Amino acid sequence: MEKYNLGVYYILKIINGKWKPSIICFLGAGENRYGQLLRHVNAVTPTKVSKKVLTQQLNQLIADHIVEKKSFDEVIPHVEYSLTPEGEALRQEIINLSRFGEQMAQKLSTPDDPIKIAYLYDSGTSKLPTKNPSID
């Protein structure tokens, strides 16, 4: 039996993984094939995810009912990943936390100790974060 003092600890267990928040947020823009997901995660994270680790994290998110995988048995077989309804709800909470983090970073940043965030949800108009132009 798993036991958590607060529900937030269970959610943190689900999204615990270096690339899981990026995976969840990117899949919120629509169904994607593995290669598209790999390219996106590697574009928005400071370190590159290996195929093995991306597969592991996708499988964990599938087991936690956050992501679903659809297989297409066509001439060229392929799979697509998308968010479940629970995944969509979790994605919105991740975006809310990201926006809160942007506000806190702006509030606490000083010239001597700057806090810089590379991708921002601050505009609220995009399904995906946009590159922060103030990052060197």
The residue extents of the domains of the chain are 7-131
Check pLDDT > 80 for residue 29. yes
7-131: what fold?
Answer: Arc Repressor Mutant, subunit A (1.10.10)
**Which residues lie closer than 8 Å to 95 by C-beta, 6 or more apart?**
25, 121
Q: Is 118 helix (H, G, I), strand (E, B) or coil?
A: coil
Q: What is the mean pLDDT of the chain?
A: 89
Does 126 score more than 80 pLDDT? no
Sign of the C-alpha dihedral computed for residues 91, 81, 132 and 53 taken in this order: positive
State the sign of the Cα–Cα–Cα–Cα dihedral 111, 120, 49, 53.
Answer: positive
Cβ contact 127:28 at 8 Å: yes
pTM for this structure?
Answer: 0.85
Instruction: Read off the pLDDT of residues 84-102 as tens digits, 9 standing for 90 and up.
Output: 999 999 999 999 998 899 8
